[in-house]
């Protein structure tokens, strides 16, 4: 799908942010779990830890939340902005690091949620900025995917009209008809339906018309695990563009996924348990 601007569904009282979204916005350095452990082992970290009792108090609560969380349960939130001071937030930055998945989420009234998975899968850092790009909230969240992602995706329009395709179109009409039917009949929790555009004879005119018809939604996620995967909500509820890229930034697989948030960016239940064990090991080694 082409990058672009999400348009407000007809009749929507509170508009979401109109957020230009491109593939490079989540680029930048990534702090790995190894980097976090390297920092914690330094004398500077030991001094900082001694001045940050709030972090030491918070870690057992986060580990306990990871122990009890399930894949479909609402997120468990920890308000870092209220609980921690400036130095403690710096220490939490170092401890959480940056995992494989990042997201940008447009919310009502110009609010944007900046989401970063930590090095502990299932534990996310979610920062909210207002229309003037001022930080208004800072949370750690234990969830399969942050609630801001689900809520923004649910604000999209439930249906769409299929217009007249251009003269060069080949297969876009049956693809759009399939998407419309699957989106309308999807039940939350059911398996997602995947349409591989890469395996269909689709002309450039088909792809342009498909992108224009579905529109661009308020959620974009990028996973940088084994290669890069870009997940973009369309302006149609339950419809996602999911694209896989190689190291040369060429598309390997271009798909439309109809259903809940695609599993490629979702933390699995076993991730919570593994993260709890690792977090407790760090707590025991450096915070007691």
pLDDT band, residue 24 (cuts 50/70/90): very low
pLDDT (mean) for 125-134: 95
**Residues composing the chain:** 288
Compute φ and ψ for 49, nearest 5 degrees: -60, -40
Joined together, the tokens standing for residue 246 give 């190689």
| pLDDT one-digit tens code per residue, 170-179 | 999 999 999 9
Q: How far is CA 144 from the centre of its chain?
A: 10
Report pLDDT for 102. 95
Report pLDDT for 29. 41
Joined together, the tokens standing for residue 180 give 């419309």
Burial label, 148 (beta-carbon count in 10 A; 0-12, 13-18, 19+): buried
| pLDDT one-digit tens code per residue, 208-243 | 999 999 999 999 999 987 779 999 999 999 999 999
pLDDT (mean) for 9-24: 37
Helices in the chain by DSSP H: which ranges?
A: 33-40, 43-50, 53-68, 80-83, 86-96, 147-154, 172-185, 204-214, 269-286
Report pTM: 0.85
Percent of the chain with pLDDT over 70: 88
Q: What is the dihedral of CA 97, 103, 106, 111, to 10 degrees?
A: 0
CA distance readout (Å), 181 to 29, 159, 213, 216, 259: 41, 10, 15, 19, 12
Compute φ and ψ for 142, nearest 5 degrees: -100, 110
Crossing angle for the helix pair 204-214 and 172-185, to the nearest 10 degrees? 30
Check pLDDT > 70 for residue 127: yes
Which residues touch 140 (CB under 8 Å, ≥6 apart)?
62, 77, 78, 80, 92, 96, 118, 123, 124, 125, 126
Sheet strands side by side (includes 239-245): 76-79, 135-142, 123-129, 112-117, 101-106, 219-223, 228-233, 239-245, 251-258, 193-196
Report pLDDT for 151. 93
What single DSSP character describes residue 284? H
Report pLDDT for 7. 32
């Amino acid at each position: 799908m082409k990058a672009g601007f999400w348009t407000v569904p007809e009749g929507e009282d509170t508009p979401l942010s109109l957020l230009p979204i491109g593939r490079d916005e989540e680029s930048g350095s990534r702090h790995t779990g190894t980097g976090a452990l390297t920092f914690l082992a330094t004398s500077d970290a030991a001094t900082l830890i001694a001045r940050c009792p709030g972090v030491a108090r918070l870690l057992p609560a986060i580990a306990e939340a990871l122990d009890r969380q399930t894949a479909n349960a609402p997120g468990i939130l920890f308000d870092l902005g209220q609980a921690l001071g400036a130095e403690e937030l710096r220490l939490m930055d170092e401890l959480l690091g940056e995992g494989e998945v990042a997201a940008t989420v447009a919310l009502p009234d110009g609010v944007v949620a900046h989401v970063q998975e930590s090095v502990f899968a299932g534990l996310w850092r979610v920062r909210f900025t207002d229309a003037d790009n001022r930080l208004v909230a800072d949370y750690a969240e234990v969830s399969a995917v942050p609630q801001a992602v689900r809520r923004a995706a649910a604000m999209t329009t439930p249906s769409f009209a299929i217009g007249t395709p251009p003269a060069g179109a080949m297969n876009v009409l049956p693809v759009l008809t399939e998407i419309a039917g699957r989106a309308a009949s999807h039940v939350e929790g059911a398996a997602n339906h995947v349409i591989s555009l890469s395996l269909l004879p689709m002309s450039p005119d088909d792809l342009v018309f498909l992108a224009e018809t579905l529109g661009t939604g308020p959620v974009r996620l990028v996973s940088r695990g084994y290669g890069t995967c870009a997940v973009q909500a369309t302006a149609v509820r339950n419809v996602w563009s999911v694209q896989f890229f190689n190291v040369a930034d060429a598309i390997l697989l271009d798909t439309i996924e109809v259903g809940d948030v695609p599993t490629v960016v979702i933390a699995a239940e076993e991730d919570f348990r593994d993260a709890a064990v690792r977090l407790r090991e760090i707590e025991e080694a450096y915070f007691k």
